[in-house]
Amino acid sequence: MLVNSIVLTTGLLIFIARVIDVTLGTMRTISTIQGKTHLAFLLGLSEISIWVFIISAVLKNISENPVIGFFYALGFATGNAVGIILERKIAFGHVNLRIITTQNDNTLASKVRMLGYPVTSFRGEGRSGPVTELYILCSRRDLKRILSLARDIEPDIFFVTEPVGVMRKVGSRP
């Protein structure tokens, strides 16, 4: 079987469209998990609209040109990777950031608060003595900025992040 320019062009269009639709699907899934209903709706509508056209082109051409299936599969795999990379760049949503520090003064908490982030601190006992846990709710986009500030103050901090599914403000913050 010889792949001619029409088959190659069709394959490339299927590949590109598949990358777009799977990228949208990845973004839709993440939006759904984060409770962003309207965004998930729009992404899902776009995703499936593109997919319908792709699958019709694949089904029309695959029996005569099986290489079309390869373009479809390659577009799917690439779309997954592109969707994950794009989502990391956009950084939808919020995270709970827990920083464990051995410094028992409020230097780090005060500096993070000065940046405008809410910080709740807890005193505790770690393996090597007293520690302070800082509980910070921040957007994923701002995570690197806060961690950079924390490392400037204490280079050996320990931290954990947890995704926030749905966040609602009830009353005023403490």
Domain chopping of the chain, boundaries: 5-90, 94-163
The model's pTM is: 0.69
pLDDT higher than threshold 70 for residue 169: no
In the β-sheet with 119-126, what is the strand arrangement from edge to edge?
Answer: 119-126, 129-139, 94-101, 158-163
CATH 3.30.1490.20 corresponds to the domain 94-163: no
pLDDT higher than threshold 70 for residue 89: yes
From the list 50, 153, 74, the residue with the least C-alpha distance to 106 is 153
Which of the two residues, 36 and 25, has the higher pLDDT score? Answer: 25
> pLDDT per residue over 109-120, tens digit each?
999 999 888 899
Indicate the helix (H) or strand (E) that contains 149: helix 143-153
